[in-house]
Structure 1
C-alpha cells in the first residue's frame, strides 16, 4: 500500500465525518423548531456510510478500503407531541410537534465524529513524517 493510498483513505474518512458533523449541526439547529402538523416538522437525519474496498490489485488486494457516504436519511423515530394550546402554531387540538432530535445524543455523536476526524488528521501527519524520513534516507 502506498502513502498515496493511505492519504486517500484518510481523506475519504475526513469527508465522511464532515458530512456527519454537518448533519449533526442541522439536527441541533432544528431541535426546537416547532410545527402545527407532523408533515412540516423537522425530522432528525443521519448519514449512511459504506466501506469501499480496494480494487483487488497490488500486493494487498483487499487493503485500501475507503469510506463512502451513501445517503443522508431521515430518522423514523416518532416526533414529540406536546399539548400547548396557547402556542400560535398549535393545531385545532392544541398540539404542537417537536422534532425527534435528542440534543444529548447529538452532542455525543458530535464528539465521536470530531474524534474520528482528528484521528484521520493524525494519520495524515504520521504519513508525512514517514515520507520525510524516507527522503532523508535517500539523501545519505
Structure 2
C-alpha cells in the first residue's frame, strides 16, 4: 500500500508545482502591458529530505533579467525626454505556450493520481471479499 501512497504523493507534488507555475504565468500575462514589469519564472527542485524519490517543489521565483522593451510614445506620462519608456519583457506567445505546457503536465499528474486512487480502491474491494 505504501507504493500507492508514494504515487499519490508524487503526483500531488507535481500538481502543486504546476499550479504554482500557472499562477505566475497568469500574472505575467496579466501584466504584459504594465510598464517596467519583469517576467517571473519558477524552477522546480527535487525534494531531498523526507520526500519520495521524484517528488518536486517550487524553487525560488526569479525575475527575468532580459531587457525591457522601449516603447516610443511621447504622450505617455512615463515617457522620458526622448519620448520613450520601458515596457515589460513579457512575450505573450511564450507565456501562452508555457501555460499550455503547465496545464498538460498538471493533467498528466492528475491522471496518474486518479489511476493510483482507482487501483487502491480496487485492491481494497478485493480485500473486503
TM-score by length of 2: 0.91
Q: Does the aligned pair in 1 maintain the 2:69–2:88 contact within 8 Å? A: yes
**CA RMSD across the alignment:** 1.7
1:2 partner SS: helix
Equivalent residue runs for 1:35-74 within 5 Å: 41-53=36-48, 64-74=53-63
Gap runs ≥5 in structure 1: 35-40, 57-62
Residues matched between the structures, number: 128
Question: Which string of whole-angstrom CA distances, capped at 9 and with x for unpartnered residues, describes residues 52-95 of structure 1?
Answer: 25759xxxxxx632111111100011100122112222112211
Q: Does the aligned pair in 2 maintain the 1:79–1:99 contact within 8 Å? A: yes
Gap runs ≥5 in structure 2: none
1:109 is displaced (CA, Å) by: 0.4
Q: Once superposed, which parts of structure 1, at least 4 consecutive aligned residues long, lie more than 2 Å away?
A: 52-56
Q: Does the aligned pair in 2 maintain the 1:54–1:65 contact within 8 Å? A: no
